[in-house]
A and B are shown apart, each in its own frame.
Chain A
Amino acid sequence: MQRHVRDQLDEYLIGELGPEAEHQFEEHVRCCRSCETALSEAQSARSYLAWLAPAEAPPVPGPGFYLQVHEAIERKLAWGWFGRLAASLRPRFAYPLALLGLLFMAWTLTFETDAADDSIFGFPPSEYSASLPDEADGVASRDLVLLTLVDMTEED
């Protein structure tokens, strides 16, 4: 048996083999199962892809096409580094990244605040008393705030 002829498939399919080589190719394919399968698969693939060849001519870019590209680039540049990053990302990466960002934000919201008993609205005494003139005033002000809160809840 002759050597396999798969390397001549492309030339055969487009009719570039000479008459003698074509005859030898066909003779081989008739008695070689694997080359016959290869030829039949190549012909099928060509016939599927033939649907992609448009029956009509493709559209021609207009004379103002470069200016449109130029304007699109200017718009992206106006967005600064974020625009450049977004332009270089494909949507398949951009959407999962945005989703990850949202999940991260949601996760940070679940953190428990480590507030002490005498804190006001989650601020520890060291923070709110630092802005007050002295310790006595600080205690008085804190008590005032607490009393007001108690009154508010009673009114409700």
Chain B
Amino acid sequence: MEAALPVSEALVPAGPALELDWETSVVRSCQKGDPEAFRLLVERYKGRVFSIAYSLVRSRADVEDIAQQVFTKVYFGIKKFDYRSAFLTWIYKITVNECYDHLRKQRSSRLLCLSEMTEEEARWFANQETGEVLPDRRAELAQMASLMLEKLPPEERLLLLLREVEGYSIQDLSRLFAWKENTVKVKLFRARQRLVKVARRNLLRNGKRHDHATSRQRPTG
């Protein structure tokens, strides 16, 4: 591979259609082994990878390692990319998988966080009363949200993340996944339904655990 040169902004077009053309041509060059094309892809998408990884793992130190791992996988797997969806969607899938692999390695501490959630915090979580939560606890609640999201199928998980966290519009998602807008809406509807079921199950379990703990602590007689 060649050494890095500054990215020419002129090579990055502004409109969605032009952007797709640019993306396709750069990805094709990269699949043929052009190192400059790979560098352009890294420079183009590194910010988005950092952003979504930070939403999920909330650790500045880990985000760079994850992003590095993501682009290494992109480099070794780009020949398998089949253009069925946008290239960015493929990068997002790799990023989200990489983040969950990373979070799984920290699973023990995260389970502790779940079990330590009090009934009051569960209420905050459900009602999004973010103002009353300390920044550290907020980060843990964010981890809990990502843990719940982990229970969803990968496609639904990515769809919800892009819509609700990254703020993509229905039209953007339709373009990214190469689906009709109605299909995006139906899939979003199902994904939200599933997430709510998972969340209710978890919050209910926490509430019961908390009630059980307080009843054991309460003095009798």
**Measuring CB to CB, which residues of chain A are less than 8 angstroms from any residue of chain B?**
6-7, 9-10, 38, 41-42, 44-55, 58-61, 65-70, 72-74, 76, 84, 87-88, 90-92
- Give chain B interface residues in 155-195, CB to chain A under 8 Å: 160-161, 163-165, 170, 182, 185, 188-189, 191-193, 195
- The distance from the CB of B8 to the nearest CB of chain A, in whole angstroms, is 14
Which residue of the partner chain B has the closest CB to A62?
B64
Which residue of the partner chain B has the closest CB to A76?
B72
Q: Contact at B144–A58, with CB atoms within 8 Å?
A: no
Q: Contact at A47–B126, with CB atoms within 8 Å?
A: yes
Report which of B46, B47, B64, B160 forms a contact with A49, defined as CB distance below 8 A: B160
The 4 nearest A-B residue pairs measured at CB = A45-B192, A58-B54, A47-B128, A49-B164
Report which of B42, B126, B149, B161 forms a contact with A65, defined as CB distance below 8 A: B42
Report which of A7, A50, A52, A87 forms a contact with B161, defined as CB distance below 8 A: A52
Q: Contact at A50–B128, with CB atoms within 8 Å?
A: yes
- The distance from the CB of B26 to the nearest CB of chain A, in whole angstroms, is 14
- The distance from the CB of B5 to the nearest CB of chain A, in whole angstroms, is 10
Give the A-B pair count, Cβ closer than 8 A. Answer: 137
> Contacts A51-B141, A52-B145, A67-B4 given; 16 further ones with Cβ under 8 A?
A6-B189, A7-B182, A7-B185, A10-B163, A44-B199, A46-B192, A49-B165, A51-B130, A52-B149, A55-B138, A59-B60, A61-B64, A70-B1, A72-B72, A73-B75, A76-B76
Q: Knowing A7-B185, A66-B4, A87-B72 are in contact, say whether A55-B135 is a contact too (CB < 8 A).
A: yes
For the complex, give the distance between the alpha carbons of A91 and B69 in Å. Answer: 12
Q: Contact at A72–B68, with CB atoms within 8 Å?
A: yes
Q: Say yes or no for B58: interface residue by CB 8 A criterion.
A: yes
Contacts of A91 in B (CB 8 A): 101
For the complex, give the distance between the alpha carbons of A101 and B148 in Å. Answer: 33
Contacts of B69 in A (CB 8 A): 72
Report which of B4, B63, B195 forms a contact with A48, defined as CB distance below 8 A: B195
Contacts of B101 in A (CB 8 A): 90-92
Q: Contact at A9–B185, with CB atoms within 8 Å?
A: yes
Chosen A-B contacts, 16 in total, with CB atoms closer than 8 Å, are A10-B185, A10-B188, A45-B192, A49-B165, A51-B125, A52-B145, A58-B50, A60-B50, A65-B42, A65-B64, A65-B68, A68-B68, A69-B42, A90-B101, A91-B101, A92-B101
